[in-house]
Every structure is written in structure tokens, then in C-alpha cells.
Amino acid sequence: MSRRYLITGGTSGIGGAVASHLTAAGHDVLVTGTSAASVDAALAAGIARLGAIADVADVAAVDAAFAQATTAFGGLDGVFANAGIDGEGKPAQDLDPAFFRRVLEVNTVGALIVAQAAYRTLERPGAIVINASVNAMRPEAHFADYNASKSAALALAKTLALEWSAEGLSIIGLCPGYFPSKMTNEWLTDPVTSRELLALIPAARFGRPEEISALVEFLLGPQASFLTGATITIDGGRNI
């Protein structure tokens, strides 16, 4: 059965892989990106039916993307709040507070803004999957800004599940490990860093795009509604 989805940060990486998978499965998908170039490239590649330029920290831009999707699709059934940015990769004592605020603004406040738009827009029953990170459960040194933002995003998902589940919305916190993306490319392609990371993963490999794509499709679907409030890890055992 065809469904209607909006994916933030859906022009590349995990978001792009999920969008491509959902579109290939026959669903209607709108992806957001932060530039016209990234959105145009995603649409040219056929990963989604529609695209919108939106910084998730911008309420007006997010609302406009939701309005575009609901008008074109006749409604929305689910949202993958996926957009995020990385931390500075520095010891905590060297972090720039201004950049720390920006990480929180995108990864945490942005997730709230997207979830609020979804609350106002989604058909019931509906689903919201918030992309946190395994770092929300097992922090990584030199990423205090990213760790904090993703821990807060996971707590947000659980709180929204407490408040909204009885209204027919399923809210799930997704905690991926390392998957190929623009954000992780620097780490996964560096021989030394990749070996260090693989040593921390019981499965001894990084994730594959098709694995997380299939999982998100299930979590956004009607058969996963009783999973509301759950934390779903897909990290090769990194959280252990």
C-alpha cells in the first residue's frame, strides 16, 4: 500500500538512502535539503518525488515543506526527522560554545520543530521516527556537542511518545551506528580511524544503506505502531 512521507535531510546519506528505498517501493516522498543544489541533485537522481529547501531550525521553512507535501500528496502518513550535523571533533575544553549551540539547534531543536509540524499535519494513525544516534546511548570522546544533542533528541522522542501516542501517533527514537554518509565519510575512509572504529563494533563492519532503509520503512508503517516510545538500535552491537 502506497504511503506518503516527508524526510528531512533526505538528499544524501541515511536520509537519501531511505528516501530512495521508499520511492522505489512506490511511496510518495518529499525530501528536504539545505541548498537548491542538493535538492535538485536528489530529485534528478530520482530518490524522491518532491524536494524542498529547509533548514530544520527554521520554523517557517519547515512549515512550508510540510504544506508542500500535504498539498501534493493529499496528506502525510509519516515523517523521518533525520536532518543533523556533526560536532567539532575536539576535546570538550576546546569546543566553541557558539558551534555547540548550532549543533543543538539543528539536531535537537530542529527535531522538535519537525515533530511539531508533524503533529499538526499527520493523518492518524501516523508515525514519526527521530534519528538520534548510538552516541545518545554510548557517548564518544571528543564529541560532547554531538553526543549531547543526540541524547536530547532521544529523550525528546520518548517524551513525545508519552504525550502523543494516545492520539494515534507512534514516535520512535532510532539510534544508528556508522553508515556511509557525507558526515561519516572522513572517518570511514581513513584507514587508521576506520580500524579503530571497527574494533568497537562487535559485528566488525559498518552498516549498509539497505539495512537502515528497510528498517525505517517498517518503523514508519502501520505494523510498527505499538513500538511507540521504543529506542531502536542498528549499530552492529556498538551500544553494548
Q: Look at residue 190 in the predicted model and tell me its pLDDT.
A: 79
* CATH number of the CATH domain containing 77: 3.40.50.720
Asked whether residue 183 is assigned to any structural domain, the reply reads yes
Q: Look at residue 186 in the predicted model and tell me its pLDDT.
A: 76
Q: Look at residue 44 in the predicted model and tell me its pLDDT.
A: 97
Asked whether residue 140 is assigned to any structural domain, the reply reads yes
Q: Look at residue 203 in the predicted model and tell me its pLDDT.
A: 97
How many domains is the chain built from?
A: 1
Calculated CA dihedral for residues 145, 148, 152, 154, nearest 10 degrees: 110
Cβ neighbour number for residue 189 with a 10 Å cutoff: 10
Q: Look at residue 40 in the predicted model and tell me its pLDDT.
A: 98
Asked whether residue 239 is assigned to any structural domain, the reply reads no
Q: Look at residue 172 in the predicted model and tell me its pLDDT.
A: 98
CA angle, residues 119, 124, 126, in degrees to nearest 5: 70
Asked whether residue 240 is assigned to any structural domain, the reply reads no
Give the catalytic positions in this structure.
Answer: 146
d(CA 211, CA 216): 9
Q: Look at residue 6 in the predicted model and tell me its pLDDT.
A: 98
Give strand pairing partners of 126: 169
Asked whether residue 71 is assigned to any structural domain, the reply reads yes
CB contact set of 115 (below 8 Å; sequence gap of 6+): 79, 81, 128, 130, 156, 160, 171
Asked whether residue 31 is assigned to any structural domain, the reply reads yes
Q: Look at residue 193 in the predicted model and tell me its pLDDT.
A: 86
* Crossing angle for the helix pair 209-220 and 13-24, to the nearest 10 degrees: 60
d(CA 141, CA 90): 8
Contact between residue 9 and residue 56 where contact means Cβ atoms under 8 Å apart: yes
d(CA 142, CA 92): 6
Asked whether residue 45 is assigned to any structural domain, the reply reads yes
- Domain limits at 159? 4-234
Q: Look at residue 161 in the predicted model and tell me its pLDDT.
A: 98
Q: Look at residue 78 in the predicted model and tell me its pLDDT.
A: 98
Asked whether residue 110 is assigned to any structural domain, the reply reads yes
**Sequential pLDDT tens for the chain (240 residues):** 899 999 999 999 999 999 999 999 999 999 999 999 999 999 999 999 999 999 999 999 999 999 999 999 999 999 999 999 999 999 999 999 999 999 999 999 999 999 999 999 999 999 999 999 999 999 999 999 999 999 999 999 999 999 999 999 999 999 999 997 777 777 677 778 889 899 999 999 999 999 999 999 999 999 999 999 999 999 999 999
